[in-house]
């Protein structure tokens, strides 16, 4: 993941960590940990940050060098069911079982099942791993592009 992009975007917008944290509804300390790379920004906050900056999730996480994409739409709240169905689609297209994907992500089959059924929002770290391993866009995975 590319924490430097969080810093660069904030600096370009001439915002303090506190200003941006307030816009995202988190503490300055929490935002600071994301920017330093100590903690991974949760997907819902990454979505809000990308909406604010009008930039792609792929750019922020270093999956792409394209900062903007005219096809990206702003989504107020991520759709867990859509994301889950796309994870399942990736898994099935790669002829993986739940156990196979769980093993690759170092988690359990029940966790993958909870993602695929939309019961739980996928962790950013797992989404990032899926996108890099299977060469898919995080913006696509999250329904921000078709």
146 falls in which pLDDT band (50, 70, 90)? confident
pLDDT digits (tens, 9 = 90+) for 53-105: 999 999 999 999 998 878 888 999 999 999 999 999 999 999 999 999 999 99
What integer pLDDT is reported at residue 101 of this predicted model?
98
pLDDT digits (tens, 9 = 90+) for 15-39: 999 999 999 999 999 999 999 999 9
What integer pLDDT is reported at residue 124 of this predicted model?
97
* Domains detected in the chain: 3-60 (1.10.260.40), 80-141 (1.10.260.40)
Residue 1 has pLDDT above 80, yes or no: no
Name the one residue in this structure whose structure tokens are 């299977």.
134
Residue 51 has pLDDT above 90, yes or no: yes
- State the alpha helices, DSSP H only, in 13-123: 17-24, 28-36, 43-53, 57-60, 80-93, 98-105, 109-116
What integer pLDDT is reported at residue 59 of this predicted model?
96
What integer pLDDT is reported at residue 108 of this predicted model?
98
User: 69 Cβ partners below 8 Å, 6+ apart?
Assistant: 56, 139, 145
pTM reported for the whole predicted model: 0.94
Mean pLDDT (whole number) for 114-127: 98
What integer pLDDT is reported at residue 109 of this predicted model?
98
């Amino acid at each position: 993941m590319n924490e430097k992009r969080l810093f660069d975007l904030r600096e370009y917008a001439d915002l303090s960590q506190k200003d941006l944290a307030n816009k995202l509804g988190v503490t300055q300390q929490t935002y600071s940990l994301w920017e330093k790379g100590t903690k991974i920004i949760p997907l819902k906050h990454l979505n809000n940050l990308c909406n604010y900056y009008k930039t792609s999730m792929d750019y922020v996480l270093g999956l792409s060098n394209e900062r903007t994409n005219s096809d990206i739409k702003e989504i107020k709240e991520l759709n867990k069911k859509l994301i889950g169905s796309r994870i399942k689609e990736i898994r099935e297209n790669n002829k993986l079982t739940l156990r196979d994907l769980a093993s690759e992500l170092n988690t359990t089959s029940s966790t993958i099942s909870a993602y695929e059924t939309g019961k739980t929002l996928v962790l950013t770290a797992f989404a990032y791993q899926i996108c890099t391993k299977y060469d898919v866009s995080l913006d696509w995975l999250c329904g921000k592009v078709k």
